[in-house]
Amino acid sequence: MDLERAIRVLGDRLRYQLGRIRRIGKKKFICGDNCWISRRALFDRGSKVIFGNRCRVSPFVVFETQNGKIRIGNNVSVNSHTIMYGHGGISIGNDVRIACHVAIFSADHIYRDPASTIYSQGLNAKETIIGNDVWIGSGAKILYGSVIPDGCVIGANSVVKGTLEPYGVYVGAPARKVRSRLA
C-alpha cells in the first residue's frame, strides 16, 4: 500500500480514507471514513485500535492496548492528553465526547498477598464499556470494568467505578448521580 496516496496531510492532522488498515512501524489501527487523527497521537507497539467514521483524535492522546483491543464508534472526539489502557478491552459507542486529560482503564493490579510484590501478582482485566451519546468531562477517571450506559454525563475530575444508570449526570470521587437528563 502506498502510504503517501492513502494519507493527505492537513496541518497537524492526518486524514484517513475509508476502512483502511494503517501501519506506522508495528503500530496498527483501522479507521472508517473521514477520521482525523493527529500525527502526535501515540499508539503503543502492536496497537489494536478500531475507529468508526468521523472520529477526531487530538495531539498527545495515548492508546495503550497492551494486547487488548480498543473499539471506538462513529462521531467520537478524544481530546488532548487523554490515555486509554486497553488491556481488558475498551468499547466506546457513537457520538461520544471525551474531554482532555481523561484516563480510561480496563485492568487493575492484584495486591491481596502482602508477601508478594504487587507487580508479581498480575492484573484483573475486564472490558470497560462506554455507551452512545456520552460526555466525559476533563480529568475524569474511568476505572476497569465500568459500564457507562447511553446518555450519561460524567463531570470533570470524577472517578467512575461500576455500572451507572442511563442518562444520569454523575460528579465527584467516587462519581455519584446528581440528576437525570430525562427529568
Q: What is the pLDDT of residue 27?
A: 53
Q: Among the residues of 78-174, which ranges form H helices?
A: none
Which sequence spans correspond to the domains of the chain?
Answer: 3-180
> Which CATH topology does 3-180 take?
UDP N-Acetylglucosamine Acyltransferase; domain 1 (2.160.10)
- Choose between 140 and 49: higher pLDDT: 140
- How many other C-beta atoms are found inside a 10 Å radius of the C-beta of residue 33? 14
CA atoms 163, 79, 50, 85: torsion sign: negative
| CA-based nearest residue to 145, from 120, 115, 124 | 124
Note whether 11 and 58 are within 8 A (CB): no
CA 163/CA 142 separation, integer angstroms: 11
Note whether 41 and 61 are within 8 A (CB): yes
Q: What is the pLDDT of residue 109?
A: 94
User: What cell numbers appear for 62 in the block?
Assistant: 495515548
Q: How many helices (H) and strands (E) does the chain have?
A: 1, 25
What distance lies between CA 130 and its chain's CA centroid? 9
pLDDT tens per residue across span 74-88: 999 999 999 999 999
Task: Assign 40 a pLDDT band (cuts: 50, 70, 90).
Answer: confident
β-pairing, 83-85 vs 103-105, is: parallel
